[in-house]
A and B are shown apart, each in its own frame.
Chain A
Amino acid sequence: MEKELVCINCPLGCRLKVRVEGEEAKEITGNLCKRGIEYAKQESILPMRVLTANMKAADCERPFSVVSSKPLPKNMLIECAMELKKHSPKTPIKMGDVVIENILNTGCDIIATSNLPEESL
C-alpha cells in the first residue's frame, strides 16, 4: 500500500511517500533528513507525539507549561493531558523540573518549561 505522510519532526514538513507492507514501512522517499525515515517507520507502527500543555500549581493562580520528555503514543495524548489536571505541585517550579515521573506508565516524564513564579524578565 502506498501512503503519503507529512513528517512532523520539524517545520519543513517533508512530504513522504511510503510503501507499507503489513505494518512495516518500506521504500521511503521525499525526506530531507534521516529523521523522516524514522518518522515514517514509527508512524506506520504506532504514531507518537510530544505532549505540551499547561498545569496549575497548588498555590498559584497562573499556570506553568510542561512538555513530555519524549514522544508518547498518540492514542494516549488526551488521557495523559487529563492526567495532568489531577496533579498540582507546589511552587517554586523551575524550568526543567520533573513534575510527574513516568506518566500513566508511558515511560515519559513531564517536565516544566516555564518558571513559577515568573522571573522578573
Chain B
Amino acid sequence: MIMTDVDIAIVGGGCAGMSAALSAYGHGIRNIVIFERNSYLGGVLKQCIHNGFGIHKFREDLTGTQYAAKLIDDIVKTDICIKTDTIVLNITEEKEIVAVSSKEGITGYRAKSIILAMGCRERSRGELMIPGSRPAGVLTAGVAQRYMNIEGYLVGKKVFILGSGDIGLIMARQFVLEGAEVVAIAEVMPYSGGLARNIVQCAEDFGIPIYYNTTVTGIVGKKRVEGVFISDVDENRKPVLSTERFVDCDTLMLSVGLIPENEIAFKAGIKLSEKTGGPIVDDMLQTDIDGIFSCGNCLHVHDLVDFVSIESEVAGKNSAMYILDKIKKDKKPLVIETNDGEGVSGTVPHRIDLNKGEEEVTLMFRPNSKFRSCTATARINDRIISSKKMPVAVPGEMCELKINKNDFGPFEKNDKLTVEIIP
C-alpha cells in the first residue's frame, strides 16, 4: 500500500476534530488531514438545531448548526485536507493509518502525530436488555434527532422516553413543538443526568412528567410499538415487578447514556480508563503512546460543546508542540497520577507531568451524586493543593478544578493526587 506522509492525522471531523485541527494549524502545522466517516463535517452539532451553544467559547447564544458553521468556515479558509465519507479502520503504535472510502478505496497514511476525536455513540436497547418484542418505533434519542432534523421525518406521535439525559430532554421538547405527544420520561436514577436548564425548558415548560426511580420493563407491539411496561426500581436499581404498569405509546425513545468510541484506540493498544471509557491521558491529553492524543467525547463524555472545543484546542496545540519538538525533553518526567476520591468519578487527566506541558492544569470530573454547597478539592495525602466552593454539584454537570503545578510541593513516588467533593 502507498503510504502518504502527513504531520497530523485527525480521526473525526466533529467539534473536537475541527477544533484540534484549527489549533494545530494556528501553531504552525500545515500538513493536516481530517478523516470523517459522515458525508459532512460537524458531527452531532449538525443535527442539534436547538440553541444554547457557544456561550463560553464565542460569547454568543448559537444553535448547534450555527456553532458547526463557524468551525467549518474557519476550516475551509485553511488548507487542512478533509476526507469525508472516509472511515479509519486501523491505527498503529507507529502512527500508521488505514482508511477506506468508496471514492479512494483503501488508503494508507503515515503521521507524525495522531489526534483521536471519534466522539461517542449512544447506549442502545440491546445494552439495557429490555425484554419484549422487537417492533418498529424503538430508537435512541440521537437517531430520532437525526431522522427529524436531517432527514425530516416525525418518528412518532405518542412518545415515551426512557432516560432523562440532555438529548432525551431536548428531543422531548422538539416532539411537542412538532405536534407529537410526549407521555412521560422515566429515569432509573433518583435524579436527572441532564442539565438543570433542560429539565426546566424542555420538560417542565411543557408539563411533561419525569418519573424518577422508574424504568421500562417490557416493550409491547408486533409491527409497531403499542406500549411499554414500566416499573419502579428499588435502591439497587432492580425493578420491583409488583409495581409494573402499562403505558400506551407508539414510540419508545432511549436517552440512556453515551459511550466513547474507542475501538481503533483499543486495537492500537492504547490503554483505556474503565471509568471514562476513554484513553488514559496526561495533562497534555497524550495517551500512553507518544504522539497520539485524545480529546472531546471519545476522551470522556462532555455536557457542553464549548468545553469540547477548549479541550480539543489543548490536544491540537500539544500535537503541534510534539511535532515541532517543543515538548520539554531535557527534564526528566515528574509524574503524579490522579485518583477519584469521595464523591468523584472519572477524573481527567489521569496523570500530570510537572516538568512538561502548561503550568496550569484543569482537572475535569463528575460528582457521583447530588451535592449542595460543597467543596471540590485536590490533595496529596492530607495536603490540599487546590479547592473550590460550589453551590450545587450534580452528576449531569461536569466540574472543573484548576490547579497550578507550582503548588504541588514535594511528593513521594507512590503518592496520588486525590480529587474529592466534600459536602
Contact = CB atoms under 8 A, between A and B. Distances in A.
Interface of A: 6-11, 13, 15, 30, 47, 49-54, 56, 61-63, 65-67, 74, 77-78, 81-82, 85, 95, 113-114, 118, 120-121
Interface residues of B, number: 40
Interface stretch (B91-99, B148-156, B350-358, B374-382): B148-156
Given A62-B151, A113-B63, A11 B304 contact: yes
B41 interface: yes
B149 A8 contact: no
Given A13-B397, A49-B201, A118-B40, 19 more contacts: A6-B196, A8-B200, A11-B397, A13-B197, A50-B51, A50-B61, A53-B177, A54-B149, A54-B152, A54-B178, A63-B148, A63-B149, A65-B149, A67-B49, A77-B205, A78-B176, A81-B179, A113-B49, A121-B75
25 contacts: A7-B197, A8-B201, A9-B197, A11-B55, A11-B197, A11-B304, A13-B397, A15-B391, A50-B61, A53-B49, A53-B177, A53-B178, A54-B148, A54-B178, A62-B150, A62-B151, A63-B150, A65-B149, A67-B51, A82-B179, A85-B179, A113-B63, A113-B66, A114-B49, A121-B41
Interface of B: 40-41, 49-52, 55-56, 61, 63, 65-66, 69, 72, 75-76, 82, 84, 148-152, 174, 176-179, 195-197, 199-201, 205, 303-304, 391-392, 397
A65 B321 CA distance: 39
A78 B177 contact: yes
A64 B67 CA distance: 15
Contacts of A56: 152
A77 B304 contact: no
Given A51-B177, A62-B151, A81-B177, A10 B52 contact: yes
B111 to A, nearest CB: 22
A99 to B, nearest CB: 14
A77 B76 contact: no
Contact of B152 (A11, A47, A62, A120): A62
Contacts of B56: 10
A11 B303 contact: yes
Contacts of A113: 49, 63, 65-66
B23 to A, nearest CB: 19
A78 B177 CA distance: 6
Contacts of A6: 196-197, 199-200
Contacts of A78: 176-177
A121 B195 contact: no
A54 B155 CA distance: 14
A7 to B, nearest CB: 7
Contacts of B397: 11, 13
A10 B200 CA distance: 12
Nearest to A66: B49
Nearest to B304: A11
A47 to B, nearest CB: 8
A77 B72 contact: no
Q: Which of B40, B49, B176, B304 has the most chain A CB atoms closer than 10 A to its own CB?
A: B49
Contacts of A114: 49, 65
B389 to A, nearest CB: 13
A36 B144 CA distance: 33
A64 B148 CA distance: 10
Given A6-B196, A121-B76, A95 B69 contact: yes
Nearest to B170: A52
A57 to B, nearest CB: 10
Q: Which of B51, B72, B397 has the most chain A CB atoms closer than 10 A to its own CB?
A: B51
